[in-house]
Amino acid sequence: MTKLDELQTQYLDLNNNLNHLQKAFDDMQTAQHADAVMSVEYDPEIIKRIIEQTPFTEFLRAQGCIKPTTKVKVGYKEKVNHTTSNWMLEEDDIAKATPSDFRKKYATMSILHYPVSIGDIAQKAGDFDLFADEMNDGYIDLANSLDKTLLEGKGDNKDFKGVFNSINTNTIDLGGDLLTKGDLTSAFQGIIDEGGYPTGIVCTSEIADQINDIYFPGTSKALEYELTAGYNVTGIVTTAGNRIPVIVDRHVDNSKGEKLAIIDSSSIKVKELLPPSVIPWAKTRLSNDQSIIQVITAYMDAEYKNAQITGVGKDTKRPDLTRTGDVSITVLGTDAKPVKGAKLQFKDDNNKTFKTGVTNANGKAEASQIPYGNYHLSWDTLPSGVTEITLADYEVKANRADIQLIVQK
């Protein structure tokens, strides 16, 4: 087969896949399938956890970057260069415009899928809703997968390019040096010179600490920025004079060094064909089988309006708090029933309370983004009729840890 034939075959295969996906989506909109596909209504506790774990996605949502669409293939024009304004004298010749260079591009939808399967017997025998619990885990996992891809997506045949793999015009490599205000000023100015407007920084916690040291040294009180209702982060003022958020997101990959991206949110487009939705499967066995599906894509139509700084060295004088984990605690009675309303505390080596959590109706309490280290888990309050047990020290040393506690009832 010639290369031309291979390209033609690939093009036909892609079109067929797009047509199948478009037809599937169109079918879901008909009355026949409308009841089968259910959009997700999140519990307030789940919303809080999603915001905490996926702050960059929430930033884009607050900036109006995430919009619905009905097409599986989104066409757009990527602007490569542009005319800039300039001062002139009355007697000067009128300068000719530099023709803007556009590239026609397409963004194809990507599908996020989280399967859920709970046996009917296990569901009926349980003292709490196993299926609802698994679905909640699915919603959170889906949100985390999207957030990670928005930041670090490779743009292969399954996902789309994230911001760090899209920015290539305004880049600074510090080669292991610590971040300085001059580095940030240069990056801000690079964006402004290209006609952009910085609206946010997304980075690792190490970078955020260095930014705090630069802008708020010593006992200086840091500025705040409301990322979304009830969720505040540190804010700084750019050379453009606006206050922007410093977003610490655990999905920023620092395996090859600390880094940050400065974002002009007007250049980021997120198109959602299908928001997180539940699709039930035909029953073929004694289990409840459903899928949580999200169909979405994202792209930058003017990457030069953004900047990234890579190769930032670590401040070795500061304790390493860059790696964090999530802890899920389940409290059960000796009768195997969940204990609601038990309040627990995570205390560090200095006996300082670092995190608290209260168990819900399923006996679960969650603690997010705890830096790796040793902690003492202690009771704050217990519901009446429950006998306190002595708790051990726990080491947070993984992305997620699950702890089960049994108390006397």
Burial of 91 (0-12, 13-18, 19+ CB in 10 A): exposed
* CATH class, 168-267+303-312 region: alpha beta
Alpha-carbon distance of 21 to 71, in angstroms, equals 10
pLDDT of residue 273: 87
Distances (CA, A) of 228 to 36, 54, 139: 32, 12, 19
Distances (CA, A) of 46 to 95, 132, 250, 292, 336: 56, 12, 18, 15, 24
With beta carbons less than 8 A apart as the criterion, state whether 348 and 372 touch: no
At residue 295's C-alpha, the angle toward residues 164 and 10, to 5°, is: 80
Alpha-carbon distance of 316 to 322, in angstroms, equals 12
Residue among 294, 2, 30 at smallest CA distance from 147: 294
What residues contact residue 318 under an 8 Å CB cut-off, 6+ apart? 209
The mean pLDDT values, 10 residues at a time, for the chain of 409 residues are 45 48 51 50 80 94 92 57 58 60 65 79 62 82 94 90 95 95 95 94 94 82 85 92 95 95 96 87 70 89 94 76 68 78 74 75 77 71 69 50 56
What is the CB neighbour count within 10 angstroms for residue 375? 20
What is the CB neighbour count within 10 angstroms for residue 187? 24
The CATH code for residues 324-407 is: 2.60.40.10
Strands (E), 128-216: 170-173, 200-203
Residue among 197, 298, 207, 289 at smallest CA distance from 248: 207
**Three-class SS state of 146:** helix
Within 13 Å, how many C-alpha atoms sit on residue 263's CB side? 29
pLDDT of residue 337: 80
Alpha-carbon distance of 238 to 181, in angstroms, equals 10
Please report which helix (H) or strand (E) contains residue 187, including its range: helix 181-193
Alpha-carbon distance of 344 to 366, in angstroms, equals 10
pLDDT of residue 87: 60
> What distance lies between CA 126 and its chain's CA centroid?
32
Alpha-carbon distance of 240 to 197, in angstroms, equals 7
Residue extents of the structural domains in the chain = 11-30+38-83+100-160+271-299, 168-267+303-312, 324-407
Burial of 216 (0-12, 13-18, 19+ CB in 10 A): middle
Burial of 146 (0-12, 13-18, 19+ CB in 10 A): buried
Residue among 215, 323, 197 at smallest CA distance from 265: 197
Sign of the four-CA dihedral 230, 236, 237, 240: negative
Task: Determine whether domain 11-30+38-83+100-160+271-299 maps to CATH 3.30.420.
Answer: no
Alpha-carbon distance of 163 to 149, in angstroms, equals 9
Alpha-carbon distance of 86 to 327, in angstroms, equals 56
What residues contact residue 79 under an 8 Å CB cut-off, 6+ apart? 100, 101, 102, 301, 302
The verdict on pTM exceeding 0.75 is no
